[in-house]
Amino acid sequence: MPQTIKAEVIMEVPSDQVIITKTEFNEYQELKDDGKWWTSKDVEQRYNHKMDWFKQKILYVPKFKKILDSKNGGSVHYSDTDDGRYWSFEPKRFKKFMEDNFAEING
């Protein structure tokens, strides 16, 4: 029969650090993108995929483009140049789109 041991641990939190709940952490994560648009480099870093992948799997897929294009009220301003220098992504709505369509995008 396994034994159970109860232990009490006391940890000292350094004065330059704090402990917060996961809910608070998630709220702070959401706030860090407020008022800021993502660039193509931001999107690549956050999702660990290159823009070519985004173009092939999401941005140029007609049904997704219809939803995402800022000309239709979506969260993505499509670049007018081939090098993609002018892509802009509205973080909150783009994250929601990615979460809502995760299975289909990665399927």
pLDDT 10s digits, 1-39: 889 999 999 989 999 999 999 999 888 877 776 678 999
Residue 27 forms part of a structural domain: no
Q: Give yes or no for residue 80 having a pLDDT over 90.
A: no
72 CB neighbour count, 10 Å cutoff: 10
Residue 18 forms part of a structural domain: no
Nearest C-alpha neighbor of 74 from the set 57, 85, 88, 86: 88
Helix (H) / strand (E) element for 104: namely helix 102-106
Residue 2 forms part of a structural domain: no
Residue 37 forms part of a structural domain: no
pLDDT on residue 82 = 66
Residue 19 forms part of a structural domain: no
Q: How many residues does the chain have?
A: 107
Q: Give me the residues paired with residue 89 across strands.
A: 38, 76
Residue 76 forms part of a structural domain: yes
Residue 87 forms part of a structural domain: yes
Contact 85, 103 (CB under 8 A): no
**Total tally of structural domains belonging to the chain:** 1
Nearest C-alpha neighbor of 105 from the set 82, 45, 95: 95
Domain extent for 66: 54-107
